[in-house]
């Protein structure tokens, strides 16, 4: 009766991976219970998400072919754009269909942007690709795009691209405070990452909280509808600070490494798995997140029932 914080299925978003050419789901070894989906198994997953009353799904595409510019990200026949159309046709308005707006899964070097002659990420050239990617995803039918590359000015460019293409109703979940984290490791297996080096030149220093708040405010000014902190558990202080600094909804991404740690400990019998899942998600809500992206979304919804 007096519990101060509650988690509801509508506040949870389920990230899903779809891989080009798969005939059946392929398990991700570092994330027990999570798979790379085929186009057909993806539809079963999103149908279940809708039935459970989740707030949305976030789609990530894994192509067969990668190149230096991530051309598959803007190809109307690319795996992610086809998956968006498939999912929208399957679930309609039953939940929010979101898509990752970044080229890292599509580039042969694995970075979130195009590289210049010096081997460094070229921020402005990357923004031009993000604009094309936003238009392609909107044309495919997406409800909300998630620019996640941490390029300066990415929200403004995406908003302008959507509006100029008359997709004013497509909203933006901005990856605003995304930190260069050690906890991303399992995700790189999930998307078959080709990353060379690291992303510390464009993702944030994990020591900096005020910078995360500043980035969130900048994204709101550029047109973000929701701002996000990623990762969640090691950055609950940033979630709280961002919640207090902005008036739009705040999301937090309970990322792959956070998921894998609980699953590994539970597999050894060291913790009560279901209790740990609910405690984890409640802690993120308690810190101030209105929306949580989590690989436990479907299971948590069943537990909450």
Please tell me the distance from the alpha carbon of residue 75 to that of residue 70, in angstroms, as a whole number: 10
Candidates 109, 111, 135, 230; catalytic one: 230
Do 235 and 212 contact (CB within 8 A), yes or no? Answer: yes
Active-site residue flag, 125: no
User: Rounded to the nearest 5°, which phi and psi values hold at 122?
Assistant: -95, 105
**Is residue 66 annotated as part of the catalytic site, yes or no?**
no
Sign, CA torsion 283/145/63/69: negative
Nearest to 251 by CA among 25, 12, 31: 12
- CA distances 158 to 71, 78, 80, 107, 154, Å, are 17, 19, 17, 20, 6
31 touches 260 (CB < 8 A): yes
Do strands 56-62 and 96-101 pair parallel, antiparallel, or not at all (unpaired)?
parallel
Q: What is the DSSP string of 119-157?
A: SSB-HHHHHHHHHHHHHHHHHHT-SEEEE-S--TTHHHH
- How far is residue 258 from each of residues 43, 118, 185, measured CA to CA in Å? 26, 34, 10
- Each as own residue / partner, the long-range contacts of residues 271-276 (CB below 8 Å, 24 or more positions apart, any chain) are 274/303
Count other Cβ atoms within 10 Å, centred on residue 102.
26
Provide the terminal-to-terminal Cα distance of the chain, rounded to the nearest Å.
17
Set 178, 199, 243, 285: catalytic member: 178
| Dihedral angle computed from the Cα positions of residues 43, 80, 132 and 191, in that order, rounded to the nearest 10 degrees | 140
> Mind telling me the catalytic residues?
178, 230
């Amino acid at each position: 009766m007096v519990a101060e914080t509650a988690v509801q299925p509508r506040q949870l978003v389920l990230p899903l991976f779809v891989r080009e050419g798969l005939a059946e789901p392929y398990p991700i070894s570092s994330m027990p219970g999570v798979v790379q989906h085929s186009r057909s198994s993806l539809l079963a997953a999103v149908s279940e998400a809708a039935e459970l009353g989740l707030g949305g799904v976030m789609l990530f595409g894994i192509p067969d072919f990668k190149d230096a510019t991530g051309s598959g990200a803007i190809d109307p026949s690319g795996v992610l754009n086809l998956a968006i159309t498939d999912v929208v046709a399957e679930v309609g308005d039953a939940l929010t269909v979101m898509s990752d707006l970044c080229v890292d899964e599509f580039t042969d070097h694995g970075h979130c942007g195009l590289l210049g002659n010096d081997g460094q990420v070229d921020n402005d050239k990357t923004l031009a690709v993000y604009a094309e990617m936003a238009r392609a995803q909107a044309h495919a039918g997406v409800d909300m795009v998630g620019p996640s590359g941490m390029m300066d000015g990415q929200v403004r460019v995406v908003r302008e691209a959507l509006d100029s293409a008359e997709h004013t109703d497509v909203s933006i979940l901005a990856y605003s405070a995304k930190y260069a984290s050690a906890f991303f490791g399992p995700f790189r297996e999930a998307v078959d990452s080709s990353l060379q080096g690291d992303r510390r030149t464009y993702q944030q220093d994990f020591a900096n909280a005020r910078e995360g708040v500043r980035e969130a405010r900048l994204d709101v000014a550029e047109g973000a509808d929701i701002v996000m902190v990623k990762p969640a558990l090691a950055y609950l202080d940033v979630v709280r600070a961002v919640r207090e600094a902005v008036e739009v909804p705040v999301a937090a991404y309970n990322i792959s490494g956070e998921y894998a740690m609980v699953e590994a400990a539970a597999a050894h019998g060291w913790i009560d798995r279901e209790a740990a899942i609910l405690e984890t998600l409640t802690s993120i809500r308690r810190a101030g997140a209105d929306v949580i992206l989590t690989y436990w979304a479907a299971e948590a919804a069943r537990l909450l029932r």
